Chains A and B, each alone.
Chain A
Amino acid sequence: EPEVTQTPSHQVTQMGQEVILRCVPISNHLYFYWYRQILGQKVEFLVSFYNNEISEKSEIFDDQFSVERPDGSNFTLKIRSTKLEDSAMYFCASSEGGTGESGELFFGEGSRLTVL
């Protein structure tokens, strides 16, 4: 069964360092997303990406964050200068259409980021 894959599964970094989280969405999907989950809390939307541009972003997704689809298969989330509060599980997701069309978001297994 096709799946969304994420790397790394866990990254530990020092405050102020740049981090790149990588995702390989399902190959025929057109919509890509990043969500995050701070430990013990709910899952929060960060950004959606369609047709090589951001289609929607939340208030969490400030100038420290950026997304990119560099080579037609990978979908990356970059945090430029990490803060302690960026420690969380980051989930990548993809869908064939928007949630109103195909309906189902397929989530990766997450990348746990720990900022020290």
Chain B
Amino acid sequence: AQKVTQAQTEISVVEKEDVTLDCVYETRDTTYYLFWYKQPPSGELVFLIRRNSFDEQNEISGRYSWNFQKSTSSFNFTITASQVVDSAVYFCALSGGETSGSRLTFGEGTQLTVNP
């Protein structure tokens, strides 16, 4: 069975601080995919990134960066110079491979609050 753990339930920072959201996953599949989604207060789910298990290269997109470490089964997400608009719930998710098909398994989510 697949499992995603986001140990940080809530994080509160002040604008312009850097913040890292942790994600640890469990899977028996050798091929799998990792995702991050943002859920702002309006409720929709916004896709941020997808990585496959063979690509451990870290990725940067503007103020966002992701650190995939297969050795520790982690896929952490860092926001640099946070802004109030970054306030949202962030979900890490896992899918793919031999045992789970196309379903996404989500973590519990981390509520990020960025204060002015």
Interface residues of A, Cβ cutoff 8 Å to B? 31, 33, 35, 41-45, 48, 55-56, 58, 89, 91, 93, 95, 98-100, 103-110, 112
Contact = CB atoms under 8 A, between A and B. Distances in A.
Contacts of A100: 31, 33, 52, 95-97, 102
8 contacts: A43-B45, A43-B91, A55-B101, A93-B45, A100-B31, A100-B97, A105-B104, A110-B44
Most central of B44, B45, B91, B104 by chain A CB within 10 Å: B45
A55 B106 contact: no
Contacts of B97: 100
A103 B101 contact: no
B33 A91 contact: no
B44 A56 contact: no
B84 to A, nearest CB: 22
Contacts of B86: none
Given A42-B107, A42-B109, A110-B43, A103 B50 contact: yes
Interface of B: 31, 33, 35, 37, 42-47, 50, 52, 91, 93, 95-97, 101-109
A56 B101 CA distance: 8
Nearest to B107: A42
A106 B45 CA distance: 8
A48 B100 CA distance: 12
Contacts of A110: 43-45
B74 to A, nearest CB: 18
Given A107-B44, A109-B44, 4 more contacts: A35-B104, A42-B107, A100-B33, A107-B46
Contacts of A44: 106
Contacts of B102: 31, 33, 48, 55-56, 95, 98-100
B91 A42 contact: yes
A92 to B, nearest CB: 11
A31 B105 CA distance: 17
A68 B86 CA distance: 36
